[in-house]
Amino acid sequence: MKTLSPLTAQFVAHFGEMGSRWGINRTVGQIYALIFVSEKPLNADEIADALEFSRSNVSIGLKELQSWRLVRLKHQSGDRREYFEAPQDVWEIFKSLAEERRRREIDPTLSMLRAAMLEAPSTAADTYAQNRMKQMHELIELSSTWFDDVQRLSPETLARLMRMGSSVKTVLDMTDKLKVVGRKKTASATGVSQ
Amino acid sequence: MKTLSPLTAQFVAHFGEMGSRWGINRTVGQIYALIFVSEKPLNADEIADALEFSRSNVSIGLKELQSWRLVRLKHQSGDRREYFEAPQDVWEIFKSLAEERRRREIDPTLSMLRAAMLEAPSTAADTYAQNRMKQMHELIELSSTWFDDVQRLSPETLARLMRMGSSVKTVLDMTDKLKVVGRKKTASATGVSQ
DNA sequence: TCGTGTTTTCAGTAATTCTTGAAAATTCGA
DNA sequence: TCGAATTTTCAAGAATTACTGAAAACACGA
């Protein structure tokens, strides 16, 4: 790493180390970290230079980051090179990450499970296995459609929900009560909104 | 794979393939899949035999799965060997997974960010970088304490919340209104409960 | 304590994934 | 269309991670 401030160097190094745990590699993690904390968009040469990676490695890393929608291209007028920046809004980043992870890590499993549900079990063991798969399918299905829904909330609403923490239960209970007492009044509570 | 029904074989194979994406390896994924769909606890030899892995590989895999709390030891009376089973409740599995992932993938980053917050930025670039880190820190902190909270909800409450999907916003809005109209009545909505 | 059945460790090998420099492809202005 | 600037691809080597068999360690009944 060349000419990185200690603060940034520390941040970049951490992302490198964590990379493998996140399911990306060291290089990709470091490239992202660098772009994330950089005020101005960076081009591939600047990145290769700062991180002391080969130019080709940076190219591959940027492709990967783009596929995760964690960085985006931003052209600088009067410069032919491609510049990259990370989305400003951290909520947006969070959403991209969740969405992409879902697409890659969850959806294939859901398809597999759906297919498995359709097979006719031939033995008692198979019946049990299929039942277990069904439980797994239901849980994943439920949490992933929930994630879809929540993803559509505005950052503000999402933040509000999160700040509520577990007191959300009280609200849920309250809602149920209201539903029982005056069905009509709270009917809107089952509708979908932004 | 020896003597696995096509249904189970398919499931096991999928977990093997997905393993790398989940951040575990092929072996570990397959061992887990096999235990998950098996009605009776399995011992290491049975697993090694069914999956055609070496005994030592299975031993390592089981250690890994135990560290994730995805399988647990269950002794069979009159048998000295160790038997393993997966928790029955899929919600419990979900929680273990989330908790462990948080511990390994999130907490270290939170510490790093906290440390970075304390450093005095020396340049304008550093000030910007530190501000970005702060945004990241806030988001991660918020979502992880939220996860803590939600984790404490009963499976039923959690399922209820999930089934609500994005209509949770309406409830939130409603709660706000109630708060404004009659503060005292809804004060309990900010308390914490199971 | 010994001996047998069981699990764990470990060093070596195999497989996979990462990184690189060089060459090829692409882009775009002249 | 040409040519310079830039990005991408690719094959080979490097590094990392996974897997194995053999040996060591462990547990427990006799």
- State the fold for domain A6-85: Arc Repressor Mutant, subunit A (1.10.10)
Residue of B nearest to A147 (CA): B165
At B185 the pLDDT is 46
Q: What is the pLDDT of residues A26-50, one digit of tens each?
A: 999 999 999 999 999 999 999 999 9
CB-CB under 8 Å, B167 with A171: no
Residue B20, pLDDT score:
86
The angle formed by the CA atoms of residues B8, B10 and B16, to the nearest 5 degrees, is 105
pLDDT at position B186: 43
Looking at the predicted structure, is the pLDDT value of residue B78 above 50?
yes
Q: What is the mean pLDDT of residues B75-96?
A: 93
Q: What is the pLDDT of residues B107-166, one digit of tens each?
A: 999 999 999 999 999 999 999 999 999 999 999 999 998 888 888 888 888 888 888 877
In chain A, where the domains are located: 6-85, 90-152, 165-194
Confidence of residue B190 (pLDDT cuts 50, 70, 90): very low
How would you classify residue B49: left for phi > 0, otherwise alpha for psi between -120 and 50, otherwise beta? alpha
| Confidence grade of residue B194 (pLDDT, cut at 50, 70, 90) | very low
Supply the pLDDT for residue A180.
Answer: 65
* Residues lower than pLDDT 70 in chain A: 1-2, 179-194
A75 touches strand D (CB under 7 A): no
pLDDT (0 to 100) of residue B169: 79
Q: Quick one: pLDDT band at residue B88, thresholds 50, 70, 90?
A: very high
Contact A165 B149 (CB under 8 A): yes
Residue B179 has pLDDT above 80, yes or no: no
Query: CA-to-CA distance for A56 and A94, rounded, in angstroms?
Result: 28
Task: Give the bases of strand D that a protein CB approaches within 7 Å.
Answer: 5-10, 16-23, 28
Assess contact for A130 and A179: CB atoms under 8 A: no
Nearest Cα to B86, choosing from B15, B2, B157? B15
**Interhelix angle for B90-101 vs A124-151, to 10°?**
50
| Partners of residue B171 in chain A, C-beta under 8 Å | 171-172, 175, 189
Give me the pLDDT at residue A11, please: 98
* CB-based contact A65:A22 (threshold 8 Å): no
Name the pLDDT band for B167 (thresholds 50, 70, 90). confident
